[in-house]
Amino acid sequence: MNDFTTWDILRNLLLAARWTVLLSLVSFVGGSLAGLALLFARIGKGRLGPAFAKTYIELFQGTPLLMQLFLAFFGLGLFGIDVPAWLAAGLALILWTAAFLAEIWRGCVESVAKGQWEASSSLGMGYLQQMRWVILPQALRVAVPPTVGFSVQVVKGTALTSIIGFVELSKAGTMVTNATFEPFTVYGFVALIYFCLCWPLSKSSQILERKLNVAHRNH
């Protein structure tokens, strides 16, 4: 057995944490774009769009992220391609993030008073114009805090990708534990690093909520 100093443990974990950060960013950005498309489908006028978006959201919110990861990992493999873990992890996390963000944002769009729709349509605005100039700017204000708050769930969600073999912070924790036989220290550090990534996000979400909702504050 190699002798690992505490610094060795921490250094290896920090190196792996870069992948957690990268995967979180990719999932969040990709999930936002897909979520935006899903949002438009969900609140759109047609019949097919809302039905599809509703089913999609229900499926992804009603099943474990771990299962979605497994299905992405083994499902892509059915097409005869050799699926690297990062691809399955990224894909599953993007699809999962999109479902939650679309649902969060739908709530924000619906929180805009109905009169705003009527007023803008009485000004002769089309659907897209209404969205662009009237509804989304107001919805955005409401949407920022919960969106930042959800980014914490994305960071934590990346931990599950260790199970399909993507080497990020959690996987590195398991590997370092196997080399050092010090699970208490190692998982303690892993938890601490996750905390350092997530806590600033949680906190800023709370602060933004207080700042942006001044108008709605009732105490």
Partner 1 sequence: MNYAFDFGWLADYWPVLLKGIGITVELTLVGGVLGVSLGIACAWARALGPAWLKPVVAAYVEMIRNTPFLIQLFFVFFGLPALGLRMGELQAANLAMVINLGAYGCEIIRAGIQATPKGQFEAGASLGMSRIQTFWYVVLIPALQRIWPALSSQIVIVMLGSAAVSQIAAEDLTFAANFIQSRTFRAFETYFAATLIYLALAIVLRQLLRGLGWTIFPKRAAR
Is position 55 an interface residue for partner 1 (rule: CB under 8 A)?
no
Identify the burial level of 45 via C-beta atoms within 10 angstroms of its C-beta, where 0-12 means exposed, 13-18 middle and 19 or more buried: exposed
Piece in contact with partner 1 (CB under 8 A), picked from 27-35, 104-112, 138-146, 185-193: 185-193
| DSSP state letters, 162-189 | GGGT--SHHHHHHHHHHHH--HHHHHHH
50 binds partner 1 (CB under 8 A): no
Q: Please, which of residues 101-160 interact with partner 1 by CB under 8 A?
A: 152, 156-160
Query: Which stretch, 2-10, 26-34, 56-64, 115-123, contacts partner 1 (CB under 8 A)?
Result: 56-64
| Using rule CB under 8 A, residue 182 touches partner 1 | yes
Selected binder of partner 1 within 184, 215, 216, 217 (CB under 8 A): 184
Which H or E run includes 112? none
Binding residue for partner 1, selected from 170, 172, 180, 205, defined by CB under 8 A: 170
Task: Confirm or reject binding of residue 71 to partner 1 (CB under 8 A).
Answer: yes
Buried b (16+ CB within 10 A) or exposed e, 115-145: eebeebeeeebeeeebbeebbbeebebbbbb
Q: Which residues contact 194 (CB under 8 A, 6 or more apart)?
A: 20, 155, 156, 159, 169
Nearest residue to 147 via CA among 188, 178, 106: 106
Q: Counting contacts by CB under 8 A, is residue 10 touching partner 1? A: no
What is the footprint of partner 1 within residues 72-101 (CB under 8 A)? 74-75, 77-80
**Quick check: 174 binds partner 1 (CB under 8 A)?**
yes
Number of residues lying near partner 1 (CB under 8 A): 40
Strand runs labelled E in the chain: none
Chain contacts with partner 1 (rule: CB under 8 A): 59, 62-68, 70-71, 74-75, 77-80, 152, 156-160, 162-163, 170, 173-174, 177, 182-184, 187-188, 190-191, 194-195, 198-199, 202
